């Protein structure tokens, strides 16, 4: 049996760039929640309209959370944020320890 091919530095950087972008969108969606609800409630004065906006926000944040959770690590090919059934949005791969910045000094499992 042949060993799996180790990805190049450029491939790892490209994969981490995509992963960082997905994480940024996810965290922005979470940060937008309170200001959005406040503005919608203030402008509309209606709980029903606010509930509709909450439903849309919940839909998009659920999609973003799943996209981030099921993103593959460019180094090991496993899910970056999942080890088991629960996503954990740490800055290191839960399998190989690769840091989200690609900085080798910050890798969790380096020997």
Cα distance between residue 41 and residue 38, in whole Å: 5
**4 assigned to some structural domain:** no
For 27, other C-beta atoms within 10 Å of its C-beta total 13
Range of the domain at 32: 9-106
Instruction: Pull the structure tokens for residue 92.
Output: 């290191």
**111 assigned to some structural domain:** no
Please count the structural domains in the chain.
1
- C-alpha radius of gyration, the chain, whole number: 18
- Helix ranges restricted to H, 1-111: 9-44, 47-69
Average pLDDT over residues 99-111: 74
Q: Which tops the pLDDT comparison, 105 or 75? A: 75
Q: What is the pLDDT of residue 3?
A: 64
Q: Which tops the pLDDT comparison, 62 or 95? A: 62
For the stretch 39-72, pLDDT in tens is 999 998 888 999 999 999 999 999 999 999 999 9
**24 assigned to some structural domain:** yes
Rounded to an integer, what is the distance from CA 105 to the centroid of its chain?
22
**2 assigned to some structural domain:** no
Question: Average pLDDT over the chain, rounded to whole?
Answer: 89
Q: Among 2-6, 12-16, 22-26, 30-34, whose mean pLDDT is lowest?
A: 2-6
**1 assigned to some structural domain:** no
State percent of the chain over pLDDT 90.
56
Indicate whether 27 pLDDT > 80: yes
Q: What b/e readout covers 74-96, taking b as 16+ CB neighbours within 10 angstroms?
A: bbbeebbbbeeeebeeeebbbbb
C-alpha angle 80-31-75 in degrees, rounded to nearest 5: 15
Give the contacts of 103 (CB within 8 A, at least 6 positions apart): none
pTM beyond cutoff 0.75: yes
Q: What is the pLDDT of residue 104?
A: 76
């Amino acid at each position: 049996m042949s060993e799996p091919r180790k990805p190049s530095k450029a491939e790892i950087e490209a994969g981490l760039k995509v992963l960082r972008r997905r994480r940024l969108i996810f965290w922005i969606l979470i940060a937008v929640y309170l200001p959005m609800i406040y503005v919608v409630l203030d402008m509309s004065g209606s709980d029903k309209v606010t509930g509709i906006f909450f439903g849309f926000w919940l839909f998009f944040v659920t999609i973003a959370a799943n996209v981030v959770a099921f993103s593959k690590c460019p180094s090991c090919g496993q899910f970056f944020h999942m080890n088991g059934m629960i996503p954990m949005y740490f800055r290191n791969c839960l399998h190989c320890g690769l840091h989200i910045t690609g900085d080798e000094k910050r890798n969790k499992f380096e020997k």
